[in-house]
Structure 1
Amino acid sequence: MSDMVLDKALELGKFIAESEKYKTMREKEAAMMSDVDAIALIEKFQHLQQSHQIMRMQGQELTDEQLNEVYAMEDKMMSNPLIREFAEIQEQFQKFLNQVNERISEGIEGNPPKAHSCSACGPHS
């Protein structure tokens, strides 16, 4: 029985990989990663995050100025249309995966999940 479950999981993974949501996400990712400006913005943002993470690990509090620097860099990064498009489709794909997980849970539990008002989860269908 467990082999059949694993086979079905593999089959589900293949269906997801063939979905338009997944294909679109990969296309947006490729477009973003082929753009020199987008890559530079992403690298700057990641470097800033890493340096602040090191500070926090050393027990240092981030100043308001440092936090504002992160927010400003994030805004600048998200103003790039390729990065913004990828982030949006990636969020949509994550919501899709959450829906898949909810259906799997429904199959395991035998009843639909209770509705909730988690704005991060998006609308349920």
Structure 2
Amino acid sequence: MSDLVLEKALELGKLIADSEKYKIMREKEAAMMADAAAVELIEKFQRLQQSHHMMRMQGHELTDEQLSEVYALEDQMMENHHIREFAEIQDQFQKFLNEVNERISEGIEGKPKEQHNCAACGPYS
């Protein structure tokens, strides 16, 4: 039985990879990575994240100035249309995967999970 479950999981993974949502996300990612300005912003943001992570690991709190720097860089990143489009489609794809997980849970538990639609949680929390 576990072999069948793993086989079906592989089949599900292939179906997801063939989905339009996944294909669009990969297209947006490729467009973003082909944009030198976008790549530079992403790398700058990753360096900043690493630096701040190391500071926190050493027990230091981030200053308001450092937090402002992060927020300003995030804003700058979202001004780049390739980054913004990828972030939006990636968010949509994550919601899709959450729906898939909900259906799997429904299959395991035998009943649909109660859904609510609050602004903080979204429709599938």
Corresponding residue for 2:40? 40
Runs (4+) of structure 1 moved beyond 4 Å? none
Match of 1:50 in 2: 50
Tell me if the contact between 1:95 and 1:121 (Cα under 8 Å) persists in the aligned partners: no
**Contact 2:115–2:123 at 8 Å: present in 1 too?**
no
Unaligned runs of 5+ in 1: none
Task: Report the CA distance between 1:99 and its aligned residue.
Answer: 0.2
Distance 2:118 2:96 in 1: 15
How much is the aligned-residue C-alpha RMSD, in angstroms?
A: 1.2
C-alpha separation in 2, matches of 1:87 and 1:123: 19
Amino acid in the other structure paired with 1:74: E
Aligned partners of 1:29 and 1:86 also within 8 Å: yes
Describe the SS at the equivalent of 2:59: coil
Question: Could you give the per-residue CA deviations for residues 42-78 of structure 1, whole angstroms, max 9, x where no partner exists?
Answer: 0011111111111111111111011000000010011
Normalising by structure 1, report the TM-score: 0.94
- Distance in 2 (CA, whole Å) between partners of 1:120 and 1:93 is 18
Alignment correspondent of 2:76: 76
Change (3 A) 1:52 1:36: same
Unpaired segments ≥5 residues, structure 2: none
1:97-112 correspondence runs (5 A): 97-112=97-112
**Structure-2 separation of matches of 1:85 and 1:65:** 28
Amino-acid identity (%) = 77
Report if the CA contact (8 A) 2:38-2:82 is conserved. yes
Q: 1:27 to 1:85 in 2, by over 3 A?
A: same
Alignment-mate amino acid for residue 84 of structure 1: R
